[in-house]
């Protein structure tokens, strides 16, 4: 099976490397020529456009920032749709609006092209390890056909339902992660302000009901002041924007998500959009006039 991979950023590069490790033949495309050359040294072939990728492969994985980028790559000039043969499958592993996933799938089906939406969770560390969680929407037979391919990049691959369902699941995931990071930030700020070691509080609570993957992943980063992005704040803002757009369309009030969105927007206004989303703690530090640390 020959695989195309479009989008070699923080997530896409390690994911594509894991496909190469799994012995898949890869054709890659990205605007960053440095990263495509890096993949070429590992055995990947470089393509110059999405159309060129589509002409050479059986299945294409896209890992792009947001809905407009996916639409441009798939339907735009020199896009996938111009080079695709009937029967090609696109697995969009970007985190985009579920509404756009459904629109894209409908357009592609007119040309005999299949689609799964399969966003991921886990950030850069799990992308590197190949232990991502993948949430998939689309036809069951397609899911079964490409399960092993997706599993080569992930610890968990779960079909949630029909097309768009994967991105609904990802939006739910991002709600929980955002609110969790906010809660961790509040707790560590309270401990610091009270003169109690945030590290000891973290160690005391992590084995109880307050323990979570988010707590273990993000509290140490906050205390160590390590805000190099595993998942950029700007990308979480993008996801929460999709959350709120979708919730408003469906008539579902999400007051906590909206509140965290505004906190993140305040940090972006302070120039922190490229920091890890654990930098949400800085919003609370500014309010309390204190810095979390060991």
Whole-angstrom distance, CA of residue 90 vs CA of residue 83:
12
Do residues 24 and 149 make contact, with C-beta atoms less than 8 angstroms apart?
yes
Spatial contact of 135 and 121, defined as CB atoms under 8 Å apart: yes
Is 170 one of the annotated active-site residues of the chain?
A: yes
pLDDT in tens, 219-230: 999 999 999 988
Closest CA to 9 of 96, 116, 93, 91: 93
* CB burial of residue 274 (10 Å; 0-12, 13-18, 19+): middle
Kindly report the pTM of this predicted structure. 0.90
* Catalytic residue chosen out of the listed positions 170, 218, 238, 282: 170
Residue 88 near residue 118, CB atoms below 8 Å: no
**Beta pairing class for 120-121 and 132-137:** antiparallel
Residue 1 pLDDT level (bands cut at 50, 70, 90): confident
CB 146 within 8 A of CB 89: yes
Tens of pLDDT, residue by residue over 147-194, are 999 999 999 999 999 999 999 999 999 999 999 999 999 999 999 999
Domains and CATH numbers, the chain: 2-162 (3.40.50.720), 168-288 (1.10.1040.10)
């Amino acid at each position: 099976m020959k695989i195309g991979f479009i989008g070699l950023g923080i997530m896409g590069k390690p994911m594509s490397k894991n496909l190469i490790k799994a012995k898949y033949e890869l054709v890659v495309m990205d605007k960053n020529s440095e990263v495509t050359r890096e993949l070429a040294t590992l055995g990947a072939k470089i393509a110059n456009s999405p159309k060129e990728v589509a002409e050479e492969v059986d299945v294409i994985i896209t890992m792009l920032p947001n809905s407009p980028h996916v639409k441009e790559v798939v339907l735009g000039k020199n896009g996938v749709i111009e080079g695709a043969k009937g029967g090609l499958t696109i697995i969009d592993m970007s985190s985009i609006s579920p509404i756009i996933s459904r629109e894209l799938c409908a357009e592609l089906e007119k040309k005999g092209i299949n689609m799964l939406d399969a966003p991921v969770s886990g950030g850069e560390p799990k992308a590197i390890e190949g232990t991502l969680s993948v949430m998939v929407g689309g036809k069951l037979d397609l899911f079964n056909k490409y399960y092993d391919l997706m599993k080569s990049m992930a610890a968990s691959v779960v079909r949630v339902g029909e097309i768009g369902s994967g991105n609904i699941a990802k939006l739910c995931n991002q709600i929980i992660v955002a609110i969790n990071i906010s809660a961790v930030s509040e707790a560590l700020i309270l401990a610091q302000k009270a003169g109690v070691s945030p590290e000891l509080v973290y160690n005391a609570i992590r084995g109880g009901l307050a323990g979570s993957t988010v707590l273990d992943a993000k509290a140490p980063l906050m205390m160590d002041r390590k805000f190099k992005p595993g998942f950029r704040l700007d990308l979480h803002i993008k996801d929460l924007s999709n959350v709120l757009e979708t919730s408003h369309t469906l008539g579902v009030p999400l007051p906590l998500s909206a509140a965290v969105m505004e906190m993140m927007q305040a940090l972006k206004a302070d120039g922190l959009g490229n920091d890890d989303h654990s930098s949400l703690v800085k919003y609370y530090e500014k309010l309390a006039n204190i810095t979390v640390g060991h």
